[in-house]
Chains A and B, each alone.
Chain A
Amino acid sequence: QQQVKQSPQSLIVQKGGISIINCAYENTAFDYFPWYQQFPGKGPALLIAIRPDVSEKKEGRFTISFNKSAKQFSLHIMDSQPGDSATYFCAASLLTGANNLFFGTGTRLTVIP
């Protein structure tokens, strides 16, 4: 069973536009929700993360919106740039105990100049 569902599978955005990627999770015990960014030939790297006690977290052009009641969270990339072109993964885990990360299937973002 897929613990974290992610959409869309791919996304094409014009430079300067807003990129939005959505995720939904199953386990209400999850208490840590990171987004990872992966460039070709590289391993995923942490981009931004949120805990369920807040509804939004912003770091520069990247914002996570979190809806605990709907068990959904999303990544918004404002003023998207060609350098943002990468694959983005949402994930969820517990902070204590079994802290393995459950990943979504990924979104390939292409920002057109």
Chain B
Amino acid sequence: DAGVIQSPRHEVTEMGQEVTLRCKPISGHNSLFWYRQTMMRGLELLIYFNNNVPIDDSGMPEDRFSAKMPNASFSTLKIQPSEPRDSAVYFCASRPTGEDTEAFFGQGTRLTVV
């Protein structure tokens, strides 16, 4: 398996533009997580899906953020409109349920909003 695949790796956009980040989890993993990493706040959980259903989105900072998981092999995180304070590295991770509990992270998307 190629692991968790995120795209793009880097994104630079102007304030006010829509940004869509993409994630392909590891096949067979039931849980998918979106995290945001900044120097100030570390790794923050934004939203968590289980079997494609959003379970906890309490970490989504505001209505400008939305996430979808239309099927077991694809998820998106959208920011509309983007703001400079959204600049961060966004990670997607997937994790199987059961005894094998390791969460696997993608390489991340470095977002810069200018």
Contact = CB atoms under 8 A, between A and B. Distances in A.
Interface of A: 32, 34, 36, 41-46, 49, 89, 93, 95-96, 98-106
Contact of B103 (A41, A95, A101, A105): A101
Given A43-B105, A43-B108, A98 B42 contact: no
Contacts of B50: 98
Nearest to B59: A100
Contacts, number: 61
Interface of B: 4, 31, 33, 35, 41-43, 45, 48, 50, 55-56, 91, 93, 95, 97, 99, 101-108
Q: Which of B4, B41, B102 lies at the interface centre, i.e. has the most chain A CB atoms within 10 A of its CB?
A: B102
Nearest to B33: A100
B96 to A, nearest CB: 9
A43 B43 CA distance: 11
Contacts of A93: 101
Nearest to B47: A100
